């Protein structure tokens, strides 16, 4: 069964450092998403990406965040200068038009 | 605004018993989809079941069924014959299917299910 692949599974970074979280969505999907889950809390939408541009972003997705689909297969989330409160599980997801919404297994980001 | 409500922060069930996890939603859109995900302690989000707003029948997937009551805006998950491996956090989520390029999921706060032997 097709999968969304996320790397790394766990990343520890120092406050103020840049991190890039990587995702390989399902190949025939058109919609791509990043979500965040702070430990013990619900999953929150960060950003959606369609047709090579951001289609919607949440209030969380400020200027410190950016997304790219650099080569037609990878989908990345960059946090320019990490803060302690960025520590969370980050999920990538991809979707076909109406069905097939699939999550990756997540990257656990720890900012120290 | 769209909203998902899960009123049960935690539930206990005996092994082999059935359990119902509650979910209510609020949307003004006639087209939407409802999802249930399981999140074990390892953290990944596992898709369980999907119900479209226009589906005539309640969705079923193995031991999972969705009790969809459109007029009441509820989409409860029923797990039959609970197993120890069902112990996890369960999230209900909604996706609006209107035309457009977002179709993001809105999640509830989750229900932590503990299956007791």
Subunit contact B101:A89, Cβ cutoff 8 A? no
Residue A85 has pLDDT above 80, yes or no: yes
Average the pLDDT over A27-37 and give the result.
Answer: 92
The residues with which A57 forms a beta bridge, in sequence order, are A47
Q: What count of residues does chain B have?
A: 117
Assign A99 a pLDDT band (cuts: 50, 70, 90).
low
Contact indicator for B59, B68 with CB cutoff of 8 Å = yes
B23 in contact with A, Cβ within 8 Å: no
Mutation pick from B91, B105, B106, B108 vs chain A, by most beta carbons of A within 10 Å, is B105
pLDDT digits (tens, 9 = 90+) for B47-86: 999 999 999 899 999 999 999 999 999 999 999 999 999 9
Of A55, A101, A104, the CB nearest to B95: A101
HSE-CB for A97 with a 13 A CA cutoff: 3
Q: Which two tokens stand for residue A98?
A: 């109406």
Question: So what's the pLDDT on residue B7?
Answer: 96
Work out the average pLDDT over A42-60.
92
Confidence grade of residue B90 (pLDDT, cut at 50, 70, 90): very high
Q: Which of residues 80-109 of A touch B (CB under 8 A)?
A: 89, 91, 93, 95, 98-99, 101-106, 108
Give A1's pLDDT tier (boundaries 50, 70, 90). Answer: confident
What is the rounded end-to-end Cα distance, in angstroms, of chain B? Answer: 41
Interface size, chain A vs chain B, as Cβ–Cβ contacts under 8 Å: 56
pLDDT for position B98? 66
User: pLDDT-based confidence at A91, cuts 50/70/90?
Assistant: very high
In the predicted structure, residue B101 carries a pLDDT above the cut 60: no
Query: Hunting for tokens 């999953």 — which residue is that?
Result: A43
Half-sphere exposure at residue B38, Cβ-oriented, CA atoms within 13 angstroms: 15
Considering only CB atoms, B103 lies closest to which of A35, A51, A95, namely A95
Rounded mean pLDDT, B29-45: 92
Q: Which of B84, B93, B85 is nearest to B111 (CA)?
A: B93
pLDDT class of A106 with cuts at 50, 70, 90: very high
Q: Which of A11-15, B42-46, B71-75 has the lowest mean pLDDT?
A: B42-46
Q: Grade residue B96 by pLDDT with cuts at 50, 70 and 90.
A: confident
Element (H, E) at B19: strand B19-21
Nearest to B46 by CA among A20, A8, A67, A1: A1
Roughly how many angstroms between the first and final C-alpha of chain A, as a whole number? 36
CB distance B70 to B57 below 8 Å: no
In chain A, residues with a C-beta closer than 8 Å to the C-beta of B50 are 99
Q: Is the bond preceding residue A8 a cis peptide, omega within 30 degrees?
A: yes
Which structure tokens are listed for A24? Answer: 């390989």
């Amino acid at each position: 069964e097709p999968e969304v692949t996320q790397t790394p599974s766990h990343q520890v970074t120092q406050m103020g450092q840049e991190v890039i979280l990587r995702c390989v969505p399902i190949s025939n999907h058109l919609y791509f998403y990043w979500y965040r889950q702070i430990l013990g809390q619900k999953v929150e939408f960060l950003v959606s990406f369609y047709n090579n541009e951001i289609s919607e972003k949440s209030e969380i997705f400020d200027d410190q965040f950016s997304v790219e689909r650099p080569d037609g297969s990878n989908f990345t989330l960059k946090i320019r200068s990490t803060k302690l409160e960025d520590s969370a599980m980050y999920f990538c997801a991809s979707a076909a038009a109406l069905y097939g919404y699939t999550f990756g297994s997540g990257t656990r980001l720890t900012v120290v | 605004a769209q909203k998902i409500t899960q009123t049960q922060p935690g539930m206990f069930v005996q092994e082999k018993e059935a359990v119902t996890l509650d979910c209510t939603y609020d949307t003004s859109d006639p087209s939407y989809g409802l999802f249930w995900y399981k999140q074990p302690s390892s953290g990944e989000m596992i898709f369980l079941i999907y119900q479209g707003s226009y589906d005539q029948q309640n969705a079923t997937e193995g031991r999972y069924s969705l009790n969809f009551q459109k007029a009441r805006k509820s989409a409860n998950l029923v797990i039959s014959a609970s197993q120890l491996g069902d112990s996890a956090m369960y999230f209900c989520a909604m996706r609006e299917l209107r035309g457009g390029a977002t179709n993001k999921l809105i999640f509830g706060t989750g229900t932590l299910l503990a299956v007791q032997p």
